[in-house]
Amino acid sequence: MANKTFALISFLFVFIACNQNNKTTTELTEQNKKDSLASCSINPNGQSELAILMREMQGHINSIRDIAIAGKMSGEMPEFLNTIHTAKPTDSSMVDSEFDARADEYLAAVKDLYHRYPESQKIAFNAVVAKCQSCHEHYCPGPLVVIKKMYIPL
């Protein structure tokens, strides 16, 4: 009986110790994640090609917001947006195997906005912002505060 109790206690001890170990690993991963998120917040010193492109994408979407509200979008999507596939990120671990597919969804939404009838351009504009938002929820929530303010109230 004493032996069994001892075995049980040892088992519990090992079990708890392992669990605590797991927790430490999770905490470490969380910390790494936070560090990498911090580097994706709006950072004037961020000089990676992707960070610079993101600021240009932000400038682009801001510059067409009033045009979409007025329903006066014309022409084609600017070519430079396509470089989202080749621009180098600050940290290559930021970009995973889903990045290209997500980038394509964003590009498709922008192209769609350029080809919409005037009355549906606000909705198409918000669909682009939703792509910024979903990508940032996945990779780095830093710019979400700014992104959420871009939606056109309907």
Using CB under 6 A as the binding rule, the residues of this chain from 116 to 135 that contact ligand HEC are: 131-132, 135
- Is position 36 an interface residue for ligand HEC (rule: CB under 6 A)? no
Which residue in the shown chain puts its C-beta closest to ligand HEC?
132
Q: Select the residue interacting with ligand HEC from 64, 68, 103, 113 (CB under 6 A).
A: 103
- Which residue type occupies 41? S
Find the part of the chain contacting ligand HEC (CB under 6 A) among 1-9, 57-65, 70-78, 117-125.
57-65
146: its two tokens: 């700014």
Among 37, 99, 112, 141, binds ligand HEC (CB under 6 A): 99
Listed residue (131, 90, 96) closest to 112, CA to CA: 131
Shortest distance, CB of residue 119 to ligand HEC, whole angstroms?
A: 23
Cα dist from 98 to 29, 85, 102, 126, 139, whole Å: 20, 12, 6, 22, 10
